[in-house]
Amino acid sequence: MSNENLKAKLAEFDAKVEKATAKFPERKNVPAKRIYTPLDIENTEYESEIGFPGSYPFTRGVQPTMYRGRFWTMRMYAGFSTAEESNKRYRYLIESGATGLSCAFDLPTQIGYDSDDDISTGEVGKVGVAIDSLADMEVLFDKIDLGKVSTSMTINAPASVLLAMYIAVAEKQGVSADQLKGTIQNDILKEYAARGTYIFPPKPSMRLITNIFEFCSKNVPNWNTISISGYHIREAGSTASQEIAFTIADGIAYAEAAIKAGLDVDAFAGRLSFFWNAHNNVLEEVAKFRASRRVWAKVMKERFGAKNPKSWMLRVHTQTAGSMLTAQQPNNNIVRVALQTAAAVMGGTQSLHTNSKDEALALPTEESVMIALRTQQIVAYESGLADVIDPLAGSYYVEALTNKIEKEAWEYIKKIDEVGGAVAAIEKGYIQKEIQDSAYQWQMDVESGAKVIVGVNKFQMEEKPVEGLLRVDAAVGEGQKQKLIAMKAKRDNVAVKASLDSLEKACQDEQENLMPYILTAVKTYATLGEICGVMRKVFGEYEAHVSL
Amino acid sequence: MEKRVRVLVAKPGLDGHDRGAKVVARALRDAGFEVIYTGLRQTPEQIAEAALQEDVNVIAMSILSGAHPHLFPKVVNLVKEKGMDDVLIIGGGVIPDSDIPALKAAGLAEVFTPGTTTSAIVEFIKANVK
Amino acid sequence: MDIAKEVLNGSRLALSRAITAVENEHDDAVDIMKKLYPHTGRAFVLGITGPPGAGKSTLTDKLAKEFRNRGKTVGIVAVDPTSPFSGGAILGDRIRMNELTLDEGVFIRSMGTRGSLGGLSRKTAEAVKIMDAFGKDVIFIETVGVGQSEVDIVSAADTTLVVLVPGLGDDIQAIKAGILEIGDVFAINKADREGADKLNIELNMMLDLDGNMNKQWRPPIKQTIAHQNEGVIELLETLEEHYEQLKSTGQLTTRRTERTKNELLNILKNEIGNYVLGKITESGQFDKLVKDVEGRMDDPYSVVNNIIKDMLK
């Protein structure tokens, strides 16, 4: 059919439907067009915009084999209470077929305070495992071969310290740093914009990040030095386009900082990784994954002039959307997670964490974690969704939506460039404001019923309180405190002080790479709080920009 | 008389998830309240003192980290110690139903769990503020 | 409780309640102010204004800390706009001053503009007086601006600091309107940003054109980076210098006399207005007079003359 012919047919179809919708009004919050046709992608050049998996611009995936080679890494984010408890959960997950570890740390650890700090009261071991020193890290990975497992650590402001501890534990196991595989999140910009666990101001934070890039490129070559995260931006309420736009803008800022620090783009770009959210709207999410790969490939090739194809690839870890899980009728969350998993898989993720049904209520129990892992296995082995690469390519709608999301992302990136880049945009509160506006709009849509959340604003029912939730014993905090005191009495406190003093001096000299100093300090069993305390003293603390 | 209901919206503890707190702050503003927003990582002492200086009618707190059994009651006690006995104190966040009776016994007027509408919070404040 | 007495005894709760009484126009507000008035007039009152995003709150925070280092107690009245649609407001200045919250020598109060502009400047002035009577040495009035309402608000200050920031676009023209006249000291904040020097030059030129050359005090321009605490001490010393200059030249007395005159006039106008209006609306006379004027049976000038003649003999 010629385009002219198709246009006429489409007009005919629309007229027919218009007539019908006079009687049956269409739902709200659905795409503007009711059907998509070849007309919607007539300007999309297959070779340059879609192409083949493993080739620029990677719209269809970063590897030529994708899941025909092997499935994504099924990586379950876990950690709570003490290192002993978390170690048990990790070993249980590995025995159940999880192929990677993902460590959750408690809030004091994420913000660089020890468990015996006043400010930590009530928080120790709550949202993750408490790590005060190398001693805890040794317990956390006890009987887990760090030469074999790949470990992702959700740690940002003190990422350098936790990475140093990991390297030190491996060394004790006889595993050298160049054999280590894994990821640190290390993405401070989204902490300022959306997640809130920052410590230092942007300048020294960016220095720490580039120090890690440089150190790892020489010593831990298989380590993913950063996981540039849209996940939390989305959780904070952004749209799909904003998620990838703000995250890629952050990625641009990191690349610029590293290049400014004298690194060659191809020396670090291949170790940059991303972290997306898998939300409820399956087709929009698939389009988002595809668009994000295309945008990043263009950024790396055209803007930064990267030569190595590895530098162009947006490799991504995904987590299903925690904020979409409901406290009401929690079993429904199993279905939501299954759909989100389908989206991430059809979107071509490299690894995936699936949330558990009870996470709107508390930390997940072992049973619900198992269902979440089984969900991934069912999608992988039974659903057929992973059988061919990028199965939705060529869908008029999905291709058009991919184009639309890409366009919106470029518009945001342009705006952020005009403001002076991601750091400036965050300092001015621009990104935060955009996210908050979207979050508020979402909430208003839910309250007006324009957006339906099953069990929340439609199809509600009386429910009995959920029983059997996981609880972290309040005694964990006290126990962790006692352990810390005992450890401090045993260690060589002269060596600790010496290592902290030289770290302080190194902090004052902007030319120094801090990683070797931090590594020395953790090996003396200097605590996380002590090390971050030294850096706080020199660097100061970030003051949040809030505009409502 | 030109009275406005004044509400302190606060995030005690260390968690950085302020989506809920900010959405609620805006909704309260749109309902005609004066909202004093103090940002992340506020200690119970800071919250109680800010409530005193601002002479608020309501303190609305949000916690998603599970630290609520420790932090919420502490704020209630500090506020009372300062002689403010007519402040309506409410909390919200990821809070299991089974924790709610203890929090209410400790002096929280209401605890709002995930899925609560902002209009329910506005209505509650209007009905109960002194 | 006797709020005024408790304020004078140093009760922070009473201080807070007294400000509420004034802000909400409680029945006891006038009584409280009567009792506190004799104890006012001692504090150094500092107005801070400037466009949104200039960093006023952060600068206030740093200045307050520096005053505390010098042993001075501090009060802060932070004014934010009320939404004209809902009547609500987000008062977010405190967020930049969280570290001051637990310092017993500091008291911070946020106020919404609440729509009544004339009323607002009176209320902020009264909040300042309450803090003054409480014993605060330095009191900041921080407000976003600059419009006429902000000019009114900072007219309660002895020294007014105008905070500007580079990179707000064609701001220099906008600044011209109103801001030059009220600034005793200017700060260019975020001075590490591009455009700071240009702003400095333009501002200097405008101040010179403004005829400041012949005045006793040519407003100085200070550069600061508030969030890094840079330039804060110099700025504080300049503000104090201005205050000292006001005192030594007798201008402080002139300014305060002028302020007292305005206050007195405002209260008088307000009270007379309320008194007269009360009388004539009570009797139903007012509605009739409005009709007469509307129907051109009488004119407003004669009507008012007659009312005054009747009422104030």
* Confidence class for position C276, pLDDT limits 50, 70, 90: confident
Nearest CB to B70: which of A121, A436, A447?
A: A121
In a domain, residue A351? The reply is yes
Q: How confident is the model over C130-146, as pLDDT tens digits?
A: 999 999 999 999 987 65
Q: What is the DSSP string of B53-99?
A: HHT-SEEEEEE-SS-HHHHHHHHHHHHHHTT--S-EEEEEES--GGG
Q: How confident is the model over C234-273, as pLDDT tens digits?
A: 999 999 999 999 999 999 999 899 888 988 888 888 888 8
DSSP 3-state of C282: helix
* Confidence class for position A472, pLDDT limits 50, 70, 90: confident
CATH number at A176 reads: 3.20.20.240
Q: What does the mean pLDDT of chain C come to?
A: 88
Nearest CB to C86: which of B2, B30, B84?
A: B30
Q: How confident is the model over C285-307, as pLDDT tens digits?
A: 888 889 999 999 999 999 889 88
Whole-number pLDDT of residue C213: 56
Task: Measure the CA–CA gap between A155 and C11, rounded to whole angstroms.
Answer: 45
Measured in angstroms, the CA of A361 and the nearest CA of chain B are apart by 6
Q: Are A228 and A184 within 8 A, CB to CB?
A: no
Residues of B in contact with A457 (CB under 8 A): 117
Q: Is the dihedral of CA C296, C301, C304, C307 positive or negative?
A: negative
Q: State both tokens at C60.
A: 């206030």
Amino acid in position A20: A
Whole-number pLDDT of residue A456: 95
Query: B17 - beta bridge partners?
Result: none
Residue at token pair 């501890």 = A165
Which residues lie closer than 8 Å to A471 by C-beta, 6 or more apart?
A: A362
Chain A interface, mutation test: which of B7, B11, B17, most A Cβ atoms within 10 Å? Answer: B17
Task: Answer whether residue A532 shows pLDDT above 50.
Answer: yes
Residues A432-449 have a mean pLDDT of: 95
Going by C-alpha positions, the residue among A68, A164, A445, A327 that lies closest to residue B116 is A327
> Which of A95-104, A170-179, A331-340, C55-64 has the least mean pLDDT?
A95-104
* Confidence class for position C54, pLDDT limits 50, 70, 90: confident
Query: Would you call C265 exposed, middle or buried from its count of C-beta atoms within 10 A (0-12, 13-18, 19+)?
Result: exposed
Q: What is the DSSP string of A415-460?
A: HHHHHTSHHHHHHTTHHHHHHHHHHHHHHHHHHHTSS--BTTTBS-
Distance of CA A518 to the CA centre of its chain: 25
Task: Measure the CA–CA gap between C282 and A394, rounded to whole angstroms.
Answer: 79
Q: What does the mean pLDDT of chain B come to?
A: 95
Q: State both tokens at A342.
A: 């389908």
List, in sequence order, the alpha helices (H) in A155-239. Answer: 159-173, 188-190, 202-219, 231-235
Residues A496-510 have a mean pLDDT of: 98
**C-alpha torsion angle, residues B58, B62, B63, B69 (rounded to 10):** 30
A440 near B CB under 8 A: yes
In a domain, residue A29? The reply is no
Measured in angstroms, the CA of C91 and the nearest CA of chain A are apart by 9
> Which of A184-188, A411-415, C53-57 has the least mean pLDDT?
C53-57
C92 near A CB under 8 A: yes
CATH number at B73 reads: 3.40.50.280
Measured in angstroms, the CA of A373 and the nearest CA of chain B are apart by 23
Q: How confident is the model over C140-175, as pLDDT tens digits?
A: 999 876 566 677 777 889 999 999 988 765 555 556
Peptide bond into A330 cis (omega under 30): no
Residues A244-261 have a mean pLDDT of: 96
Whole-number pLDDT of residue C282: 81
Residues of B in contact with C25 (CB under 8 A): 1-2
Whole-number pLDDT of residue C148: 67
* Confidence class for position B1, pLDDT limits 50, 70, 90: very low
Which residue in chain B is spatially nearest to A472 when comparing CA positions?
B66
In a domain, residue A347? The reply is yes
Which residue in chain A is spatially nearest to C96 when comparing CA positions?
A543
Residues B101-113 have a mean pLDDT of: 96
Whole-number pLDDT of residue C118: 60
Task: Measure the CA–CA gap between C22 and A538, rounded to whole angstroms.
Answer: 45
Task: Specify the pTM.
Answer: 0.92
Task: Measure the CA–CA gap between B20 and A235, rounded to whole angstroms.
Answer: 11
Is pLDDT larger for residue A36 or for residue A76?
Answer: A36
Task: Measure the CA–CA gap between C157 and C128, rounded to whole angstroms.
Answer: 9
A548 near B CB under 8 A: yes
Residues of A in contact with B43 (CB under 8 A): 119
In a domain, residue B1? The reply is no
% of chain C surpassing 70 pLDDT? 91
Q: Is the dihedral of CA B21, B26, B30, B35 positive or negative?
A: positive
% of chain B surpassing 70 pLDDT? 98
Task: Measure the CA–CA gap between A74 and A374, rounded to whole angstroms.
Answer: 10
In a domain, residue B89? The reply is yes
Nearest CB to A543: which of C53, C92, C227?
A: C227
Provide the 10 A C-beta neighbour count for residue A286: 26
CB contact under 8 A, B97 and A474: no
Structural domain range at position B47: 6-128
Nearest CB to A546: which of C53, C95, C228?
A: C95
Beta strands at A316-320 and B110-112: parallel, antiparallel or unpaired = unpaired
Q: Are A130 and A217 within 8 A, CB to CB?
A: no
Distance of CA A104 to the CA centre of its chain: 12
CB contact under 8 A, B39 and C90: no
Task: Measure the CA–CA gap between A232 and A412, rounded to whole angstroms.
Answer: 18
Neighbours of chain C (3+ CB pairs under 8 A): A, B
Task: Measure the CA–CA gap between B79 and A133, rounded to whole angstroms.
Answer: 36
> Which of A188-202, A485-499, C41-55, C267-281 has the least mean pLDDT?
C267-281
Q: Are A437 and A430 within 8 A, CB to CB?
A: no
Q: How confident is the model over A273-321, as pLDDT tens digits?
A: 999 999 999 999 999 999 999 999 999 999 999 999 999 999 999 999 9
Whole-number pLDDT of residue B124: 98
Whole-number pLDDT of residue C171: 55
In a domain, residue B124? The reply is yes
Q: What does the mean pLDDT of chain A come to?
A: 94
Is pLDDT larger for residue A94 or for residue A440?
Answer: A440
Residues A156-178 have a mean pLDDT of: 97
* Confidence class for position C205, pLDDT limits 50, 70, 90: confident
Whole-number pLDDT of residue C210: 66
CB contact under 8 A, B34 and C108: no
Looking at the structure of chain A, the number of domains it has is 1
CB contact under 8 A, C92 and A544: no
A45 near C CB under 8 A: no
Q: Are B2 and C115 within 8 A, CB to CB?
A: no
Neighbours of chain A (3+ CB pairs under 8 A): B, C
Whole-number pLDDT of residue C32: 97
Task: Answer whether residue A27 shows pLDDT above 80.
Answer: no
Range A26-50 burial, b when 16+ CB lie within 10 A, else e = eeeeeeeeeebbeebbeebeeeebb
Beta strands at A150-153 and A100-103: parallel, antiparallel or unpaired = parallel
Structural domain range at position A380: 46-72+162-199+210-448
Q: What is the DSSP string of A92-124?
A: HHHHTT--EEEE-B-HHHHTT--TTSGGGTTTT
Residues B70-76 have a mean pLDDT of: 96
Q: State both tokens at A197.
A: 């666990």
What is the spatial order of strands in the sheet that B88-93 belongs to? B110-112, B88-93, B58-63, B6-10, B34-37, C89-91
Is pLDDT larger for residue C263 or for residue A209?
Answer: A209
A196 near B CB under 8 A: yes
In a domain, residue A542? The reply is no
* Confidence class for position A30, pLDDT limits 50, 70, 90: confident
Is pLDDT larger for residue C276 or for residue A218?
Answer: A218
A470 near B CB under 8 A: no
B18 near C CB under 8 A: no
**Predicted interface score ipTM higher than 0.90:** yes
Is pLDDT larger for residue A17 or for residue A516?
Answer: A516
Whole-number pLDDT of residue A99: 75
Residues A147-160 have a mean pLDDT of: 95
Task: Measure the CA–CA gap between B57 and C23, rounded to whole angstroms.
Answer: 14
Residues C28-36 have a mean pLDDT of: 95
Looking at the structure of chain B, the number of domains it has is 1
Neighbours of chain B (3+ CB pairs under 8 A): A, C
Is pLDDT larger for residue A347 or for residue A360?
Answer: A347
B35 near C CB under 8 A: yes
Q: Are C115 and C169 within 8 A, CB to CB?
A: no
Q: What is the DSSP letter of A129?
A: B
Residues B102-118 have a mean pLDDT of: 95
CB contact under 8 A, A428 and C53: yes
Range A306-325 burial, b when 16+ CB lie within 10 A, else e = beebebbbbbbbbbbbbbbb
Residue at token pair 């170690």 = A87
Considering the domain delimited by C41-249, tell me its CATH architecture: 3-Layer(aba) Sandwich (3.40)
Nearest CB to A447: which of B14, B15, B117?
A: B117
Q: State both tokens at A146.
A: 């760090």
> Which of B10-24, B92-106, C204-218 has the least mean pLDDT?
C204-218
Which residue in chain C is spatially nearest to B42 when comparing CA positions?
C98
